[in-house]
Amino acid sequence: MPWIPLYADAEDLAEVVRWLSKDEEIAFIVSAGPKRWIARETLEGVHFNRLALWHVPSGPLPLVAGRAWQHERSIEDPMRGWRERATGLDPTVPYFGAGHPGIIWLNAETVGPDGEEIGISGFEWIGNRYRPEGLGAHPMTERWWRKLRERIRSTAVQVPRLGPLDGPDPEIWALPSALARLRSGAIRAISP
């Protein structure tokens, strides 16, 4: 599964939300009450642990069947909201089935498991995992993911999980505020 791991603090994630809010191709899927969701073009602040980003050009979102007699259909207008018929293991996030290629997840873990480290946040995407079953990603979504990777690469510095920040095997992108804290001696988490 494509993943862009990040060392990010609240200031960094607020900046990520700001530039995603300006991206006309992205809508945030947020709660509108129990089992109810709505797509929003913008979002204020970071009030989430896991957030669904809908790449709008990818096409309609599925309304997964909740009962054996129901059929899966598309959500008519995500900007007007919908009621879920089936809920996934985590009821705090919308459920689109095993993995929908038009959904990118933004995970916010500003604090590591011990409560002292800078946590590992990141973007994850199912990509083309289900292409053999006919559920491949839209080419525009693939292009958007590449642009996202480039944006992160241009604003962050890749660092290793362990050892000196300029050591071998860099793999986690440290966004500016978190990077400044790491350079000042903050501890970094080694796992999400």
Q: What is the pLDDT of residues 16-67, one digit of tens each?
A: 999 999 999 999 999 999 999 999 999 988 889 999 999 999 999 999 988 7
94 in any annotated domain: yes
Exposure letters 3-39 (e unless 16+ CB within 10 A, then b): ebbbbbbeebbebbbeebeebebbbbbbeeeebebbb
Residue 50 is assigned to a structural domain of this protein: yes
- Domain extent, residue 65, equals 3-183
Total number of domains constituting the chain: 1
65 within some domain: yes
64 contacts 87 by C-beta, under 8 angstroms: no
**pTM exceeding the 0.85 threshold for the entire prediction:** yes
Is 172 within the bounds of a domain? yes
Which residues have CB under 8 Å from 99's CB, separation 6+?
126, 129, 130
- Residue 166 placed within a domain: yes
Give domain status of residue 10, yes or no: yes
Q: Residue 189 domain-assigned?
A: no
What does the pLDDT look like over 92-131, one tens digit per residue? 999 998 889 999 999 999 998 888 899 999 999 999 886 7
Looking at the domain assignment, is residue 127 inside a domain? yes
DSSP category for residue 56: G
